[in-house]
Structure 1
Amino acid sequence: MLLRLVKNLFARPATSAHSSKPISTQEQAQTLFHRGDFRSAILAYRSYLEEFPHDVLALNDLGCCLANTGDDAGAAAVFDQAFSLDDAYLPVVVNHAKAIADRQMSGEALPYLRQAKVYDADFYASDAVLGAIALAMGNAELACQRAKRAWLASFDNLRLANCYLLNCAYHDIDEAQLAAEHRFWAETLAPRAQADDAETCDASLTALPERSSKIRIGYWSPDFRNHSVRYFFRPLLENHDRDRFEIVLYHDIPKSDEYTARIREKADHFIDVSDLPDARFVALIRSHQLDVLIELAGHTSNNRVNLLQECLATVQLSGLGYPPTTGLGTIDGKFLDIHLADADSARYYAEMPLVLPNSFWCFDPMEEAPIEPVPAAVRNGYPTFACIGNIAKIGDRTLACWAEILHRVPDARLLLRSISFNDPAALDAMRERVGNAGIALERVDFRGPAGGADFFASYNDVDIVLDTYPFNGGTTSCFATYMGVPIVSLAGKSLISRMGRSILNNLDLADWVVDDAAAYVERAVAGAADVSFLARFRVEARERFSRTALGNGKLFAEQLEHSCTELLQAKRDGVPCHEDAVAPLPAQELVRRAYGVLRFGQYEAAQRIVDYCLRAYPACGTAHILNTQRLTADGKYDEAAAYLLERVEGFDAGDRFAVWVNIARFQLLLGRDEECRKVVALAATAVGEDASDRAQLRMLETCLKVRAGNRAVAGARQPSVAAMRIMVLIVVDDPAAFERKRDDIASRCELPAGVGLDFLRCSEQHKTRVYSAVLREPSADIVVIVHKNIDIHSASFFRDVVSTLAHCDLLGIAGARSWDRLDWRHSPADNKAASFMVPSGEKEGCFEMQQMGLERSAAVHGLSVLDGSVLALNRARLAGIAGLGEFDPLLEDGAALMEEDLSHRAHLAGLRLAVHQSLGVVMDWRLALRNQHLGEVRWQLTQHYGFDPLTLRDEDRTIISVPVGSPDEGVAVQQLFFEDSV
């Protein structure tokens, strides 16, 4: 299948290309899908697919919608159907890989994802699935990086945002930064489309009785089922004061089980809203006139917490299911307790900390769970430490502590239990991490999950649980202490790292809470030696639970009811609830994200990020530059320049250079050279030591010199070269286009004395045959390959080619010193060199001179790969190496990658590669080279050269550029710029 994947990589499957389709239905479904209204999209896609059941794109999107709403079984069935119809369409292949990974067979999913990344490195879904696999393998840092890339590529995809935020919770980052990430999400959230609010609900199914004097409180969750939330919600639900409170439950997932039934029977009203579109759900919940609405999911799976950006009830609260802040200031409160909250809490929650007097939750499994009274250490003859749960919580700092504990207690064992260990790849990854931490693997037991009574009983094999940091255990820590096993917990600053502190303080185990790694180790070592306490706690655990709100549902319900009632009254009285102190992400990070979102054409989303940045950092000059894109998109360069000029004095000093540069660009586009000269002089006063900034300033100054009449000084007349002939191969299918390009080159480019010139048209689909023949043709000394997207405007082009090829064997306009990744153009600046012109994307008829890399000399030697759009070859040198004149026909339909491969093969054979940065070449990005099998070609080269597409590498996309009025002006700027740089 993997080789067939190339067939439809970049095209809609043939099964989907029907001109007679009811486009309105299809477009409606797609609009709803991209808006994130998955439930409405499901209805639209199903209606559409009734008529066109083989539309693979629609099936794939329907599967995504079903997955987003929690219908995993339905999604899997749809993805299987789509894959059976077309196993070569990229999104279907990635979702197929996800289905494999979800079955905990990551090793089998990775080949599909590896190839998908080669075919389309920017396809967000590949990064999303790779992030999920990384998290399952315990690599939270990589999971965050992947999830962030996916989110920025599809910014209004709520599922991707939730994945990133949840991954950040697992990653060992500062807790203030974690809060800032959530605030960023909330502040840049797309508002819900209000046009759908006219939709009404089916009153016969959803209407509630007339309001009574009771407080109407609603609980909203996708987890009223066999889910960890049930251990905390049922004790609350079953102990609510029904004389004072009317309970409404909103079940938001298409899954039910025996626990759903138990929860349903204890509610006054139980409403399945899982199939309600957002607009209908909002209308429904507002019609119920709730006094209090408590959401229980946060940013965990299958949530719709984004809807709480609007007011759906008098008081909106968050609790139980998600430790970090939601980020939404429209949520009035978040449940904390006295062991969690302090004077600094406002830094970590957008919601008001609603501080309960004992515990922020109540744990009661409501199942039989007998405790073995004799500690495992006594039964086994050695102590057993354990960590149970998601291995993504186990960071390097935690592993280092465990290594020291096991060193200090030489007869102890460590038990790790996780559902992740059902996946062989995750188990191997965790074993490697444990070993690298200095822990002997023979002292560690890796066990898969246990269920039901076996899970409770598994804690009887444990003496002490070692908590994770900064994401403490929650449910698993409650289980451990409920089963008489104490935990050692390192506490941080907010709920996510203080869950252990709350649990232990409620159980009178405050001395098991520590503040640093050294104390963590000491507490664990001392605990293992105190066998009498371990035995005593097993006997006392349940009684300790019962006397505190942590384990006493009646007490917890009373305390929660009291807090809700007080907050409700304060809200009705107009008392301001809370003003959070969550700091925003740094300004430059916000700007980077805006640029990242813009790269994928998401202009509205980028503008929301810019708007948020300017609210938080009014003096951020780079954000103001981005803000001018509203004007420049309409060609209003004058207004854009005026906007920046009016504000520049108030900008941060470090941003002013970039601001002056952009104003200068606007003036150049407007043809106002004198105004531009003044601005460039101001830019010179603000430039720092950054090499790229200094090069940018010099390029602007060079452009102004050219417009003032200065040109590069012509060198001394070059001596005549030995008689030689240059063969120009123009790769183009259209004979008329060949003739135009031939005539342009012949008329513009001067030939050195003694040099003859020939032209040959090469069809794009016959390159291998023509290239091989020309490289064998002894009459050609130099072969110049020019693709149809290339125009040459420098009169000295052939002179520069001949003189430079005297010191190298292959010459191009762009290249890299090392080819360590297929997309070498994104490698670090010191690895590449490139200079050419492109048609302007800003102003019709204008061009951009662009330069990449740190090289400032015209000729750059010592490269290993060259851009294949235009190449000059020393034919005899290439012909003298066996095999270089042979080409793989598979590469022919891969744009100019066949030529890049040729250049690298020449490098490996010992030939010399160089770039000349003032050849006066225009590369027209509007003309696509033949690329019917681009994905397959990329995969072929990736395999051949051993590139690893799953390795995340630092990327540099910096381009130094200046607008020029014509290619001739660009040639003059290019030549003077590199002459001045010598």
Structure 2
Amino acid sequence: MSEGPSRWLREARAAREAGRLPEASGLYRRILEEEPAHAEANAELADALHALGDLASAIGHYRAAVAADPSGAGPWWGLGCALAALDDHAGAVEAFRKLAALAPGHGQTLHNLGRSLYELGRVDEALGCFERAAALLPADAACLPLTNQAMIVPGAPGAGTAAILDCRRRWAARCLPAATPPAARRPATVPVATGRRVRIGYVSASFDKRNWMKPVHGMLAHHDRGRFEVHLFSDGPAPPPGTGHRPHPDDRWHATGELSNADLAGRIASDGIDVLVDLNGFGRPSRLGVFAARPAPVQVTWFNSYATSGTDAFDALIGDRHVLPPGHPEEAACSERVLRVPGSYLAFDVAYEVPDVAPPPCLASGFLTFGCLAPQYKVTGEVLEAWSRILARSPRSRLLLKSVVLGKPAARDLVAGEFARRGIAADRLILEGPDEHFAFLGRYAAVDVALDTFPYNGGTTTMEALWQGVPVLCFEGDRWASRISASLVREAGLGEFVARDLEGHVDQAVGMALDPGTPSRLDTLRRSLRDRLRASSACDVAGLARGLERIYLDLLAVR
């Protein structure tokens, strides 16, 4: 290397150390003009671009660095992190695997590998990576992979209900902050006895998310404000117009995103909340510390809890008779008392603009197009196997998949390769990336029948498919998470689409694809499905509100 590049490299490093990243980047580029394969200049320029937020350019230089010197650990780390940040998890897995081979004792690499494997639906493998990462990382850092384990374990095909409880208890023992009750005293009176309204507090980071919060917004619109005072504790933005949230003038909104757990617990206690309801579940495990502090006399978890919390923070876990039938063995694997509302615990209301229902595409195509618009992390190897069997036995059918992860070519190639290994040609598949929500829902016009994922069913995905006129084929799985769709589909009056087991599910899909009468039946169903849903308990959000209110009052009565 001539004196020019050597000098520029020293100057670039000095500028980078001083935080002058644009200046450093210019100097690295001068080096690469003379020596395009310069490993150090490519790697360090990539790091600078990464820090400046130019991930796409950083990725190009990381690739050049590892091509020049495959033994360099730093560029593989940067490449994996940049790809994961752009949701290119197939590429990230490749980079982190290379790094894990170079540095097998690096726990953070295994953690990040696990996160990207999870996003690709390789949940059991991700759990294994998190386990190894927890063993390698220092004690104060091990909670990162342990938390991710606790978050994803209900969707792991290899984890039964006992393993889910054990995993979350382990997380709670090591990572849930010790309970410190707030200084403010709770009300000493029982509200029902004194005649005052019961104060209900709902805790969520997602009140602004119209697609996820259909059951919550629908239920809130039907709370009895004559008997209940509603408090919304929000870690996220207020719901803008068009999200389905209907603000009530008597409700109290609390912006809590900047509050620590201790401060939020103190706020809840000082407001005299009688019943505190967690809407986050393990979607936001960092807030479970609020509930561990016990700021309210009664605490329950509902909506985003599809397995036990494994903690002592809740008096009840709220579901229904479908997701956890009375007397089911899974109830013994819950750290909370399980209580049930009538109908579906996810009864929903679509109170924002969505596309009109379209005719089933099989009327024009002459063949059935199956579809699944669920996140890719729900599409496990077992799901791919079942779908491949369906396609193999119904040779004219097609399958449409659409998700954020599939927006990247590497992920589409990976999924197409999984089907190819099972004998399904690429021309049988339609693989699509994300869209704005309205356009995303519009793609149901290309789907005749939706196929559910397992063991982690659709919730929002099932609601949206049904509302767009598309029946959802599902079956009774081995855990709460794998019976969510059965709850919604049965309460929609469509129990004929719920199979008893996986084999029945595959047989039903094949039967529909081969039956020449299916197109006309689907056409009739789609024309009437929204009206049927509105009249069904699947959309009885007023009944859901009454059911929750009865549970709240019953729990207060025994305090």
TM-score, length of structure 2 as denominator length? 0.78
Output one character per residue of 1:270-289: Cα deviation in whole Å (capped at 9) or x when no partner: 11111112222222222122
Give 1:944-955 correspondences, 5 Å limit: none
Deviation at 1:262, TM superposition (A): 7.0
Match of 2:544 among 530, 534, 556: 556
How do 1:238-257 and structure 2 match up within 5 A?
238-253=221-236, 255=237
Structure 2 distance, partners of 1:353, 1:550, is 20
**Structure with bigger gyration radius:** 1
The equivalent residue for 1:340 is 323
Q: What is the distance in 2 between the residues matched to 1:91 and 1:247? A: 51
> Is 1:463 the counterpart of 2:448 in the alignment?
yes
Structure 1 counterpart of 2:87, which letter?
Answer: Q
1:232 is matched with which residue?
215
Give the corresponding residue for 1:390: 375
> Are 1:434 and 2:422 matched, yes or no?
no
Report the 3-state secondary structure (helix = DSSP H, G, I; strand = E; otherwise coil) of the residue aligned with 2:430.
strand
What is the rounded CA distance, in whole Å, between the counterparts of 1:391 and 1:264 in structure 2? 32
2:287 maps to 1:317: no
Listed as ranges, the matches of 1:407-422 within 5 Å are 407-422=392-407
- 2:545 is aligned with what amino acid? A
Tell whether the 8 Å contact from 1:155 to 1:161 is kept in structure 2 after alignment: no
Offset of residue 193 of structure 1: 7.4
Following superposition, the deviation at residue 143 of structure 1 comes to 1.5
Secondary structure of 2:147 counterpart: helix
State which of 227, 240, 243 in structure 2 corresponds to 1:258: 240
Do the aligned partners of residues 438 and 82 (structure 1) sit closer, same or farther apart at CA in structure 2, a change above 3 Å counting? closer
- Counterpart amino acid of residue 278 in structure 2: E
1:181 to 154, 167, 171: 167
Aligned ranges for residues 396-795 of structure 1 at < 5 Å?
A: 396-528=381-513, 529=515, 530-570=518-558, 572=559
Aligned-partner Cα distance in 2 for 1:543–1:312: 43
Alignment pair present for 1:123 and 2:111 = no
Alpha-carbon separation, structure 1, partners of 2:455 and 2:152: 13
Deviation string, structure 1 residues 7-39 (Cα, Å, up to 9, x no partner): 9xxxxx999x9xxxxxxxxxxxxxxxxxxxxxx
Taking a change above 3 Å as real, the CA distance of residues 558 and 452 of structure 1, as seen in their structure-2 partners, is same
- In the TM superposition, residue 538 of structure 1 has moved relative to its aligned partner by 1.1
Decide whether the 8 Å contact of 1:473 with 1:499 is kept in 2: yes
Deviation of the 1:450 alpha carbon = 2.6
Q: Secondary structure at the match of 1:281?
A: helix
Return closer, same or farther for 1:155/1:474 CA change in 2, 3 Å cut-off. Answer: farther
**Cα pair 1:507 1:545 within 8 Å, conserved:** yes
The offset of 1:566, in angstroms, is 1.5
Is the alpha carbon distance of 1:109 and 1:256 closer, same or farther for their aligned partners in structure 2, counting shifts above 3 Å? farther
Check if 1:80 corresponds to 2:51.
Answer: yes
3-state SS of paired residue (2:551): helix
Whole-Å separation in 2 of the counterparts to 1:83 and 1:91: 18
How many Å separate the matches in 1 of 2:521 and 2:206?
37
Counterpart Cα distance in 2 of 1:95 and 1:569: 56
Query: How much has 1:314 moved relative to structure 2?
Result: 1.2
Identity across the alignment (%): 27
Matched AA of 1:183: R
Which residue does 1:98 correspond to in 2?
A: 81
Bigger Cα displacement from structure 2, 458-467 vs 403-412: 403-412
How many Å separate the matches in 1 of 2:317 and 2:14?
51
| Alignment check: 8 A CA contact 1:377 1:384 kept | yes
Aligned-residue offset at 1:396: 3.1
Is the CA contact (8 Å cut-off) linking 2:371 and 2:450 kept in structure 1? yes
- Contact conserved, 2:363 with 2:520, CA < 8 A, in 1? no
Q: AA paired with 1:278?
A: N
Partner of 2:353: 368
Determine the C-alpha separation between the residues in 1 that align with 2:89 and 2:490: 40
Q: Over aligned residues, Cα RMSD in angstroms?
A: 3.6
Distance in 2 between residues matched to 1:293 and 1:284, nearest whole Å = 12
Asked whether the 8 Å contact 2:441–2:468 carries over to 1, the reply is yes
> How many pairs does the alignment contain?
491
State the AA in 2 paired with 1:545: L
Task: Give the letter for the 2:362 counterpart.
Answer: A
1:899-956 CA-to-partner distances (Å, cap 9, x unmatched) read: xxxxxxxxxxxxxxxxxxxxxxxxxxxxxxxxxxxxxxxxxxxxxxxxxxxxxxxxxx
Structure 1 residues 860-893: Cα deviation after superposition (integer angstroms, max 9, x where no partner): xxxxxxxxxxxxxxxxxxxxxxxxxxxxxxxxxx
Secondary structure class of the residue paired with 1:304 = helix
Q: Is the 8 A contact 2:119 2:405 kept in 1?
A: yes
User: In the aligned structure 2, how far is the partner of 1:246 from the partner of 1:444?
Assistant: 51
Contact 2:402/2:432, CA 8 A, preserved across alignment: yes
- The one-letter code of the counterpart of 1:467 is D
User: Does structure 1 conserve the Cα–Cα contact (< 8 Å) formed by 2:492 and 2:537?
Assistant: no
CA distance in 2, matches of 1:139, 1:430: 12
Question: Helix, strand or coil: the match of 1:445?
Answer: strand
Q: Does the CA-based 8 Å contact 1:79-1:92 persist in structure 2?
A: no
In 2, Cα distance between equivalents of 1:547 and 1:197: 45
TM-score (ref. length: structure 1): 0.46
**Pick aligned residue for 1:286 from 269, 280, 286:** 269
Q: Deviations over 1:312-337 (max 9, x none)?
A: 21111111123222111331111211
Deviations 1:602-651 (A, max 9, x none): xxxxxxxxxxxxxxxxxxxxxxxxxxxxxxxxxxxxxxxxxxxxxxxxxx
Partners of 1:229 and 1:334 lie apart in 2 by 19
Q: Which secondary structure state, in structure 2, belongs to the residue aligned with residue 265 of structure 1? A: coil
2:51 is matched by which residue type in structure 1? D
Residues 491 and 501 in structure 1, CA contact (< 8 A), matched pair in contact too: yes
Question: Alpha carbons of 1:189 and 1:162: their partners in 2 closer, same or farther (altered >3 Å)?
Answer: closer
In structure 2, the CA distance between the partners of 1:236 and 1:126, relative to structure 1 (3 Å rule), is same
